[in-house]
Amino acid sequence: MWRAVLALLAVLCAHAIVPADAFLVKTALLRDLGRRARPARSSAGGCPFSGNALPRDKLVPESLRDIVQGVAFPGDSGVAPDVPPAWLDRQKFERGQAFSRKNFFSLAYAESLSLLINFLFPGELQPLIFTRRSSTVYDSYKRYFDTVARVKSWYESDPWTPNTTAYNNIATVRGYHLDASRRMRQASPDALRLNTTFGPHSDPPHIWSGATVERMCEDAREGACPSDAVDAVLKDRDVTKRVHLNQFDMSLTQFAFSGLIATFPERFGLHGNLERELDAFCHVWAALGYALGIQDKYNFNLGGLALTRRRTRDVLEHFAKPRLRTVNRDWEHMTRVLFEGLSLYNPGVSYEASVLYMMDLLGVAAPRLTASLTPTQRLVHSSIGVFMEGAMRVPSIRTWANQEVANNLRKAGRNADSQRYKESIEKRSYRYQFLPTPSRYQCA
Ligand code: HEM
């Protein structure tokens, strides 16, 4: 995809469809506007929610105080599958579905980028390591292809009408979640500890982690506050003491599907006055969360666009940024195979460029990470911003990008069950398999 994007940008400048100077000036202006919309960088020494400085009940920003209580409760409320929430506004839901179908490219990229953030939380990462359904490039390609297809169905039919694809997919996903949490609950503490990490002593060919995690860790130690407050509240470091796939985890996954798009639409290629559509999009996610078993008081999107934005900014500032300081090799491996899997049907998706885009979005300076990128990766990183904040303003480019994703998904669907394709992917080797192993497993 990005290879095509780069070519398209070159063509735009070279053929003066948009005069090159005007394009650059406009892009600089857009970047400036975008920057104002991003979370502020922590001021020097200003760690407002540091555990030592504040009483316990003030450790968590107000918008998230109810949601964090969800760590103590199982993620599925047991709600009946054919009963929509009493607060459902059908018209708004359908408007949100239409918006999602029309902007699938932007949504899909924002969701992939959000997973880089969500995997900073052990409650999100460790169940996926445990089930081993996305730990290699091929498995990850299959797993996330299926995820995208299921989520797409939730934008296309009614999730409460029996036998629609959306309804069946809600039931399947609830089944997956219940199964994973039951298996984790039934595992012995030792088995749980062993099977929720790739282990500090894994060889590089088995765990793909090199420069990225090491550089991120160094950058984060300078650019983000410590995580003691987050630890005190989430109490999620010890896998043997957690409620697996709890209400908080579910809520944080709603953030992954909706938060970045709702809060930073321009950064994902959505322009113009979209407040009404984005509010409807949040309503869709509030309702899907309900259907998947999230109780109202932990529902990230209930309360509309303004509250979703408030919560997103608070998650990024108070939970995600501190957790950058605890990034480990499991994180790098799982996020690498995720992006490598996505790149099989979205050619040009770059892991390193996306990690840097995420750091940018979090407002954390990343000089060491940037220096570790190849010139091509740096170019891809810059083009993501130029494409999303500039080129995507052009309606025909937006249409093209959305069609491209739809075509790529169709192609991926055809390949998904081919044994030959599977073997060809499993035989591939990757540059980062041979990178030096970082000296530490876990950033501290
Ligand atoms: C709003 C919340 C969530 C949504 C919308 C969601 C969505 C999905 C979807 C679409 C699938 C199907 C993937 C497939 O067909 O292979 C799935 C499977 C799964 N999800 Fe979730 N999920 C949510 C929350 C969570 C959370 C909090 C966890 C905890 C880590 C989780 C762990 C899993 C697992 C273990 C599977 C089975 C596949 C595997 O082992 O990787 N999900 N989810």
> Residues near 283 by Cβ (< 8 Å), separated by ≥ 6?
89, 92, 93, 96, 301, 304
pLDDT score at 160 = 98
Q: How far is the CA of 176 from the centre of ligand 1 (A)?
A: 7
pLDDT score at 436 = 66
User: With contact defined as beta carbons under 8 Å apart, do 28 and 392 qualify?
Assistant: no
pLDDT score at 201 = 60
Please report, as a single letter, which amino acid is at residue 50.
Answer: S
Q: How far is the CA of 409 from the centre of ligand 1 (A)?
A: 19
Ligand 1 proximity of 153 Cβ (cutoff 6 Å): no
Distance CA 13, CA 8 (A): 9
Q: How far is the CA of 390 from the centre of ligand 1 (A)?
A: 33
Distance CA 331, CA 333 (A): 5
Q: How far is the CA of 359 from the centre of ligand 1 (A)?
A: 25
Distance CA 203, CA 370 (A): 26
Nearest CA to ligand 1 atom 34: 177
Q: How far is the CA of 245 from the centre of ligand 1 (A)?
A: 9
Ligand 1 proximity of 254 Cβ (cutoff 6 Å): yes
Pick the atom of ligand 1 nearest to 285's CA: 1
> Residue 81 in 3-state DSSP?
coil
Pocket residue to mutate for ligand 1, from 177, 184, 282, 285, most atoms within 8 A of Cβ: 177
Q: How far is the CA of 388 from the centre of ligand 1 (A)?
A: 28
Ligand 1 proximity of 124 Cβ (cutoff 6 Å): yes
Nearest CA to ligand 1 atom 24: 250
Q: How far is the CA of 111 from the centre of ligand 1 (A)?
A: 13
Q: How far is the CA of 184 from the centre of ligand 1 (A)?
A: 14
Q: How far is the CA of 151 from the centre of ligand 1 (A)?
A: 11
Cα-based distances in Å from 281 to 89, 233, 274, 285, 334: 12, 29, 10, 7, 28
Q: How far is the CA of 60 from the centre of ligand 1 (A)?
A: 26
Ligand 1 proximity of 137 Cβ (cutoff 6 Å): no
Q: How far is the CA of 170 from the centre of ligand 1 (A)?
A: 11
Ligand 1 proximity of 378 Cβ (cutoff 6 Å): no
Specify the long-range contacts of residues 229-233, CB closer than 8 Å, at least 24 apart: 229/49, 229/50, 229/51, 229/54, 229/59, 229/60, 229/318, 229/322, 230/318, 230/319, 230/322, 230/323, 231/51, 232/51, 232/56, 232/59, 233/59, 233/60, 233/68
Ligand 1 proximity of 433 Cβ (cutoff 6 Å): no
Distance, CA of 203 to chain centre = 27
Please report, as a single letter, which amino acid is at residue 312.
Answer: T
Nearest CA to ligand 1 atom 4: 253
Nearest CA to ligand 1 atom 16: 143
Ligand 1 proximity of 301 Cβ (cutoff 6 Å): no
Q: Which two tokens stand for residue 414?
A: 């055809």
Nearest CA to ligand 1 atom 22: 253
User: With contact defined as beta carbons under 8 Å apart, do 193 and 330 qualify?
Assistant: no
- DSSP state, residue 246: B
Specify the long-range contacts of residues 414-422, CB closer than 8 Å, at least 24 apart: 415/344, 415/345, 416/142, 416/145, 422/138
Q: Which two tokens stand for residue 126?
A: 């460790």
User: With contact defined as beta carbons under 8 Å apart, do 372 and 332 qualify?
Assistant: no
Ligand 1 proximity of 245 Cβ (cutoff 6 Å): yes
Ligand 1 proximity of 289 Cβ (cutoff 6 Å): yes
Per-10-residue mean pLDDT, the chain, length 444: 46 33 33 37 49 62 95 98 98 98 96 97 97 92 94 98 98 98 97 88 63 87 79 90 97 98 98 98 98 98 98 95 90 93 85 95 95 94 96 96 93 83 81 68 76
Q: How far is the CA of 174 from the centre of ligand 1 (A)?
A: 8
Q: How far is the CA of 250 from the centre of ligand 1 (A)?
A: 9
Distance, CA of 326 to chain centre = 17
Distance CA 164, CA 97 (A): 15
Ligand 1 proximity of 230 Cβ (cutoff 6 Å): no
Pocket residue to mutate for ligand 1, from 176, 281, 288, 338, most atoms within 8 A of Cβ: 176
CA angle in degrees (0–180, nearest 5) for 429-408-7? 80
> Residues near 214 by Cβ (< 8 Å), separated by ≥ 6?
438, 439, 440
